[in-house]
Amino acid sequence: VDGYAAGIGSQIVAMADFAVASESASFSLGDISPITFSPVVSYQRTSIPRKLLMELMFTGDTITAKRALELGLVNKVTTSSLLEEESVKLALKFARIRKNDIERQKKFFYGQAQMPYEIAFPLAEEGMLDALTQPEIQDELQRRNTY
């Protein structure tokens, strides 16, 4: 993000698995008026506290890139001149991971997010054990000799 992300633009950032912003970036939900509606379901999956989210939703206030980083809306803040380079560096880290591994991990991550610990932990254990039975995981473990 290199500039102003408002309304749906900021919600796309909130839904993204990762985001990098320039120091000059800012974010806003847009303001509520009789002719607008600001669905914030994408923001509800972020670490932004509910009261601040309500404030942003009803006031249309803007937060800086630095504040977005503090709130967990973006992963990194850099200069405009390094924005593309830093974004590619982060993307390449994700690109090394197989698609089905990412999908499996995200499914567990989001599925357990709202569960009580006593339910989430056994599901995580089941998921880890299931992953260990996958042929590609077995191959990787054998390659690393880490049984």
- Residue-wise pLDDT for 31-58, tens only, equals 665 555 555 666 766 778 888 888 888 8
pTM, two decimals, is 0.72
**Sign of the dihedral through C-alpha 40, 11, 51, 26:** negative
pLDDT of residue 75: 95
The tokens for 43 are: 């923001």
Residue-wise pLDDT tens digits, 61-116: 999 999 999 999 999 999 999 999 999 999 999 898 888 888 888 887 877 777 88
Burial class of residue 16 in the structure, from the number of CB atoms within 10 Å of its CB (0-12 exposed, 13-18 middle, 19+ buried): middle
Residue-wise pLDDT tens digits, 110-135: 777 778 888 888 887 887 788 788 88
